[in-house]
Amino acid sequence: MSIIEVNHLTKYYGKTKGIEDVSFNVDEGEIFGFIGPNGAGKSTTIRLFCSLIYPTGGSAKIFGKDVVKDGPEIRQEIGYLPSEVFYYDRMKVTDLLKYSASFYNKDCTQRLHELADLMELDLKRRIDDLSYGNKKKVGIVQGLLHQPKLLLLDETTSGLDPLMQQKFFNLIREENKQGATVFFSSHILGEVQKMCNRVAIIKEGNVIKIEDIKTLQKDNYKKISIAATELEETRFHVEGVTNMQKNNGAISFFFKGDINVITRLISERQVSDVTIEEPSLEEIFMHYYE
Amino acid sequence: MNIFMHEFKMSIRSVITWSIALFCLIFVFMSMFNAFASDAELLNEMMSQFPEELLMAFGMTNIDMATVLGFYSLIFTFIQICIAIQAANYGFSLVSVEERDMTADFLLAKPVGRTKILTMKGLSAITGLTLTNLIVWASSFVFINVYRDGRPYEIKTLLLLLLSIVMFQFVFMTVGLLISLLVRRIRNVTPYSMGLAFGTYVLNAFGGMLGEEKLELITPFKHFDPNYIINNASFDFPMMFISLSFIIVSIIASYVLYTRRNIPSAV
């Protein structure tokens, strides 16, 4: 069953494009990555899911219901963790979390305390006394305390120290095991690579690729580096070769296609070193963004 | 109900501050009444020396400062200005503060509709304004009776004056709310509310001075002119309906705009 169905979703801010004609599905139990650089439309998409903004075209359904028409009902089961957290400064952490919990039709007290302990959050302090990282923790706890079925993470990890990031990822994995679907937006590919099953790559408001993360890494591209004293680049100008680079006599490039073509080309020459490896997600990503 | 309580807690300090300020205003002015009234002839003579334009600007024409309500109407003008600033303040900040402080993302991502949010916020602001209003009523009655020194006054007229505050507050709050929804983002509420309150006040004052009656039609200070109410012991109903129509239009337009509003993001 699809938890999120996005159909030709479009958002313009006046004449400025937010996103255009975005379509994808996220299945139940998935951790779905949404990657792209700043300003590509990641936040716009998530803000559309939460009805913070309204679409100019197309539609989005969550739990099979339209986000514009059934917003409040859908949001009972959504946990939204925004990229920048801002809360009522004069409130105490505990009051804010209780206020947050009061919107849901269930008792969240126990989960609230579990999460606060786990994230090492001091409930008695005032919001405006908290550091940036601690405010982020408040954001995480308020987004998770009602045990939502869908988590919308909008670059949530920025500003957390590595230890807390680790805890946070474990927490998200745990929620996922309990049945929560996760929509994970980020521009840090390493964390997407670690967490997600599938990814959508968004560029300038358009989704340019949706793929299984393993497929994206394995089946497509190989990164090949060859070191040799006398080797002309033109030799490897065959179909499927991209990103040709030459430095200090070594040649490296991406290759997509029948690997035998390349090994044959290599074996006919005297070379000192060859490596064939899977490119990192970063490299694939850069490839899409050229 | 949770939103209402939250909003009310956030605004209680401001409500108390305004209430104390108005209490002090009424107390200080009324305490001077006796001194003024005992030299009434002298005072009225002095007033007649002032240029008429000045008196018009302060709404002091056709007023007998020696009477209780004549004197009170002068105070009432200042009360109106304070009330207007406070109500406009609450109206302008009702939803704009959450957007300025970026807390709107928190609230609107909760499972609650925009209509309910606006209603709860509105009710909370009205409660705050009503509390201030009650303080104005109480301190007016108390200090008039303490300092009038046996001079008579029409209690019905005083009630009418005080009653006018309710709608007066509504106009400034709802119009403020509507304006706040027409602009993309309000960084600071104070210039807006001061502008609206003093702007409409000056429009009334100068309208009177210049004889520009058309300008007066749009200012609530004219719709609820204390001199009119005292001299006629009645509201100026046609004028009051202009204010009423402002309120109705502002409320409807605010709901329409807010439920369709795109909340600006932090970055």
The backbone torsions φ and ψ at residue A22, rounded to the nearest 5 degrees and listed phi first, read: -90, 125
* Same domain membership, residue A249 and residue A173: no
CA A215 to chain centre: 17
Average pLDDT, chain A: 86
* Same domain membership, residue A248 and residue A124: no
* Same domain membership, residue A80 and residue A137: yes
Query: Of A214, A232, A265, at which residue does a domain stop?
Result: A214
Q: At what angle do helices B155-182 and B189-210 cross, to 10 degrees?
A: 120
* Same domain membership, residue A201 and residue A236: no
* Same domain membership, residue A173 and residue A81: yes
B2 in contact with chain A, both atoms CB, cutoff 8 A: yes
* Same domain membership, residue A209 and residue A237: no
Query: Of A173, A190, A214, at which residue does a domain stop?
Result: A214
B185 in contact with chain A, both atoms CB, cutoff 8 A: no
- Residue A228: per-residue pLDDT: 81
pTM: 0.84
CATH code, domain with A132 = 3.40.50.300
* Same domain membership, residue A178 and residue A133: yes
**Residue contact A75–B266, C-beta within 8 A:** no
Q: Which of residues 45-74 of A touch B (CB under 8 A)?
A: 47, 50-54, 71-74
pLDDT tens digits for B233-260?
Answer: 889 888 899 999 999 999 999 999 999 9
CA B214 to chain centre: 21
* Same domain membership, residue A80 and residue A203: yes
> What average pLDDT score do residues A258-268 get?
83
Predicted-complex ipTM score: 0.83
pLDDT cut 90: percent of chain A above it: 38
Host domain of residue A236: 222-288
**Cα–Cα distance between B43 and B39 in angstroms, integer?**
6
- Residue A141, pLDDT > 70, answer yes
> What average pLDDT score do residues B55-62 get?
67
Angle CA(A270)–CA(A272)–CA(A274) in degrees, nearest 5? 100
Q: Are strands A31-35 and A198-203 parallel, antiparallel or unpaired?
A: parallel
- Residue B215: per-residue pLDDT: 73
Nearest Cα neighbor of B177 from B103, B256, B105, B82 is B256
pLDDT cut 70: percent of chain B above it: 94
Number of independent structural domains in chain A: 2
The gap between the terminal CA atoms of chain A, to the nearest Å, is 35
**Residue contact B263–A53, C-beta within 8 A:** yes
DSSP state of B218: T
* Same domain membership, residue A115 and residue A254: no
- Residue B3, pLDDT > 90, answer yes
CATH code, domain with A235 = 3.30.70
Q: Are strands A206-212 and A57-62 parallel, antiparallel or unpaired?
A: unpaired
Considering only CB atoms, which chain B residues are within 8 Å of A80? 105, 109
* Same domain membership, residue A193 and residue A139: yes
Considering only CB atoms, which chain A residues are within 8 Å of B103? 86-88
* Same domain membership, residue A207 and residue A103: yes
B104 in contact with chain A, both atoms CB, cutoff 8 A: yes
Query: Of A166, A187, A214, at which residue does a domain stop?
Result: A214
Q: How far, CA to CA in Å, does B183 sit from each of B106, B186, B196, B200?
A: 21, 7, 15, 20
| Residue A52 DSSP SS3 | coil
Buried b (16+ CB within 10 A) or exposed e, A157-190: bebbeeebbebbbeebeebbeeebbbbbbbbebe
Full strand arrangement of the beta sheet holding A250-255: A241-247, A250-255, A222-227, A273-277
* Same domain membership, residue A15 and residue A140: yes
Report CA torsion sign: B218, B220, B224, B227.
negative
